[in-house]
């Protein structure tokens, strides 16, 4: 699913109007009808509904929705923001249509005009849409604050008022919605952690905007969906043998951190890799071989022996529990300077890049880094907000010709080509130490099997989140463990195999 900017969304509407052909007022009717159907389906029409409208097209959506609700005899009240400017053409058309109904249209010019609401009421936020270009102020900001403090359920149309679609809204007054009804696709804003308090549960409603625009219009960002995963996933060959699916080498574990190595190793094996060798300092060898008997294990960190171990390996994954002691740094130096294959760096390996930033320019093309936000900031500098961090990730991925898997609820895959892919599987139960080690193992295993780096990242993150969703369903988000993600990778693969 492509994620368009506010300007592109406006162009999509215009493209639909000119190519169907249809009128913009008819698109507004489609949007209002889709919202009405959602309200009916989710049993919100039994309560008193209060619709707050600005004078732009978002307000026009609200007026059209009010007319539809009223025509079905639902208890509806409309409030229009007082302003000196005239409303948009479609707002004025819907206002004229609404005047012919029995609804009373209330004007809000001051805080004294605010209605008294209870927790049984429904607020429909139709003040401002994606066209917002400045922070709300005056009575508009007061209305937003009123909605935020209300005990009523708040449902935002298209986007919570006060929120920008594709840049930070941190300094704005923003509606705190319980639900956001977005049209056709997610907005970039909905994928940013800083906006979680405002969007509530996002529902994407389809209003039949022209599909050709989506096919032709390039987008910097996309949301990974089932169709993309179906095209990426490669089924096993009937006549395969262990050599068919590659040999991965994992550098992981240290004293007190062997759990990270075990998790990464088990995840790598569950991802489908043919062979796995784990390099771990002593005394970790016995621990690993007892926990992961399917893997080979080496403990000799001699430089020449380690280079010998690189033969016939497709990929090196390094970092989980590895530490940044003298031996660990020497191994990392050797890998950075001499390894020519695929490389996945996580945890301690990212700390190494933060401690020795000059090493970043030596990374081989297509290297994959898997930082969480704090690790990312240590490596590349702090960002003022989530949008800046995403832009910096794209910049660094292009500059260094690497992939950056910026972990979060909607993990971002920043690519060397300047595109970003957001994931849409996973849950808050995965926010536990060890989950990142699991992801490192999965991506390493997929690379070894022959997936190109972009596909290994996309499929790896999707599988990781999907297995986490299955684990949360079984054990709850609170009780699930990173090891449960590994145990449910098989179920995740089965779901992907059934995608049609």
pLDDT tens-digit map of 72-95: 999 999 999 998 788 999 999 999
Residue 461: phi, psi to the nearest 5?
-65, -40
Residue-wise pLDDT tens digits, 375-389? 999 999 999 999 999
Chain mean position to CA 296: 36
pLDDT band at 306 (very low <50, low <70, confident <90, very high): confident
C-alpha angle 292-296-299 in degrees, rounded to nearest 5: 100
Element (H, E) at 143: helix 138-149
Q: What is the pLDDT of residues 91-119, one digit of tens each?
A: 999 999 998 888 999 999 999 999 999 99
300 against 475, higher pLDDT: 475
429 pLDDT tier (thresholds 50, 70, 90): very high
- CA–CA dist 374, 289 (Å, integer): 33
pLDDT grade for 305, boundaries at 50, 70 and 90? confident
Examine the pLDDT at 200 and tell me if it is beyond 90: yes
User: How are strands ordered across the β-sheet holding 201-205?
Assistant: 105-108, 76-81, 49-53, 122-126, 153-157, 179-183, 201-205
Q: What is the pLDDT of residues 307-334, one digit of tens each?
A: 988 998 999 999 999 999 999 999 999 9
For residues 252-259, average pLDDT: 95
Using alpha carbons, select from 306, 311, 317 the residue that is nearest to residue 263.
Answer: 317
- Average model confidence (pLDDT) across the chain: 96
CATH architecture for segment(s) 2-219: 3-Layer(aba) Sandwich (3.40)
In CATH terms, the fold of domain 226-497 is 3.40.1190
Residue 334: count of CB within 10 angstroms of its CB = 16
Asked if 400 contacts 436 with a C-beta cutoff of 8 angstroms, the reply is: no
Give SS3 for 403: strand
- Model confidence band, residue 282 (pLDDT cutoffs 50, 70, 90): confident
- Please check whether residue 397 is in contact with residue 365, taking contact to mean a CB–CB distance below 8 angstroms: no
Q: Which segments of the chain belong to CATH 3.40.50.10260? A: 2-219
Q: What are the pLDDT digits (tens) for 334-393?
A: 999 999 999 999 999 999 999 999 999 999 999 999 999 999 999 999 999 999 999 999
The tokens for 232 are 């990426």
Q: Which of 315, 319, 310 is nearest to 439 (CA)?
A: 319
Q: What is the mean pLDDT of residues 131-152?
A: 95
Tokens at 223, concatenated: 């949301």
Whole-structure pTM value: 0.96
- Tens digit of pLDDT for each residue in 392-411? 999 999 999 999 999 999 99
298: phi then psi, degrees, rounded to nearest 5: -130, 145
Q: Worst-scoring range by mean pLDDT, 78-87, 222-231, 478-487?
A: 78-87
Percent of the chain residues topping a pLDDT of 90: 94
Considering the chain, tell me which residue range(s) the CATH 3.40.1190.20 domain(s) occupy.
226-497
Confidence bin at 460 (pLDDT 50/70/90): very high
**Is the Cβ–Cβ distance between 254 and 323 less than 8 Å?**
yes
């Amino acid at each position: 699913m492509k994620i368009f900017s506010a300007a592109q969304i406006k162009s999509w509407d215009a493209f639909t109007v000119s190519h169907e052909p249809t009128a913009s007022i008819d698109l507004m009717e489609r949007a209002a009808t889709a919202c009405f159907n959602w309200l009916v389906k989710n049993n919100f029409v039994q309560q008193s509904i209060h619709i707050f409208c600005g004078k732009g097209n978002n307000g026009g959506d609200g007026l059209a929705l009010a007319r539809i609700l009223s025509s079905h005899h639902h208890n509806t009240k409309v409030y229009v923001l007082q302003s000196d400017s005239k409303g948009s053409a479609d707002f004025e058309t819907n206002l004229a249509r609404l005047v012919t109904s029995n609804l009373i249209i209330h004007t809000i010019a001051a805080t004294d005009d605010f209605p008294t609401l209870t927790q049984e009421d429904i607020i429909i936020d139709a003040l401002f849409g994606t066209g917002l270009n400045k922070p709300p102020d005056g009575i508009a900001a007061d209305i937003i604050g009123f909605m935020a403090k209300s005990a009523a359920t708040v449902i935002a149309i298209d986007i919570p008022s006060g929120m920008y679609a594709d840049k930070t809204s941190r300094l704005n007054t923003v509606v705190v919605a319980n639900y956001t009804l977005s049209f056709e696709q997610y907005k970039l804003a909905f994928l940013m952690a800083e906006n979680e308090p405002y969007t509530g549960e996002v529902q994407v409603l389809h209003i039949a905007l022209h599909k050709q625009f989506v096919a032709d219009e390039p987008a910097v960002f996309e949301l990974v969906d089932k169709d993309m995963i179906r095209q990426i996933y490669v089924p096993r060959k009937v006549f395969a043998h262990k050599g068919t699916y590659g040999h991965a080498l994992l550098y992981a574990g240290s004293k007190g951190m062997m759990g990270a190595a075990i998790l990464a190793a088990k995840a790598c094996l569950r991802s489908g890799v043919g062979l796995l060798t784990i390099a771990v300092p002593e005394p970790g060898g016995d621990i690993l071989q007892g926990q992961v008997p399917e893997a080979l294990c080496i403990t000799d960190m001699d430089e020449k022996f380690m280079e010998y171990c690189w033969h016939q390996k497709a990929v090196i994954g390094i970092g989980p529990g590895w530490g940044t002691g003298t031996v660990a740094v020497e191994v990392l130096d050797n890998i950075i300077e001499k390894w020519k294959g695929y490389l996945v760096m996580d945890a301690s390996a990212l700390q190494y890049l933060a401690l020795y930033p000059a090493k970043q320019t030596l990374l081989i093309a297509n290297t994959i880094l898997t930082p969480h936000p704090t690790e990312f900031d240590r490596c590349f500098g702090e960002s003022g907000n989530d949008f800046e961090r995403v832009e910096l990730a794209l910049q660094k991925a292009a500059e260094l010709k690497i992939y950056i898997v910026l972990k979060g609820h909607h993990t971002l895959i920043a690519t060397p080509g300047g595109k970003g892919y957001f994931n849409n599987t996973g849950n808050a139960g995965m926010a536990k130490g060890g989950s990142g080690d699991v992801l490192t193992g999965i991506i390493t295993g997929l690379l070894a099997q022959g997936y190109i780096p972009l596909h290994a990242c996309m499929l790896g993150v999707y599988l990781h989140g999907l297995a986490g969703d299955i684990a949360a369903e079984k054990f709850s988000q609170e009780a699930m463990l990173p090891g449960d993600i590994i145990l449910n990778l098989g179920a995740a693969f089965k779901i992907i195999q059934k995608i049609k």
